[in-house]
Amino acid sequence: MSRKDAVGLVEPNLGFAFNGVGFGRSFILACDLASFLRYINREPGASTAVQYWRHYYLISLSFLVTRMISFSLLARWLFRGGPEVEELLLPDEARLDTSVHG
């Protein structure tokens, strides 16, 4: 099996896996969004716990959305393939040998 064939088999599978992880996060997004909406409608002066949970879920939502977008972009990059992906997944052995010994 050539290098190009091996990378051609791995690229779509990795892209599919990252896309699945990104899609799986949408279930967590629904839970965090529901919790955030629960605390956003309460009065901010009621207690510090309300403010804490409001900020906690806002930060959690923003990191979750960032991760979902990152996984989707990574999956898209892997599906497109190209020499960059090929070099990342299966680097040249000659270059590896010189960097280890050199």
Chain segment 27-57, per-residue pLDDT in tens: 888 888 998 998 888 776 667 888 888 899 9
**pLDDT score, position 99:** 58
Q: Is the pTM of this model over 0.95?
A: no
**pLDDT score, position 96:** 56
**pLDDT score, position 57:** 92
Q: Is there a contact between 25 and 64 (Cβ–Cβ < 8 Å)? A: yes
Nearest-angstrom CA–CA distance, 14 and 26: 19
Longest Cα–Cα distance in the chain? 66
Q: Quick one: pLDDT band at residue 94, thresholds 50, 70, 90?
A: low
Please tell me whether residue 44 adopts helix, strand or coil conformation: coil
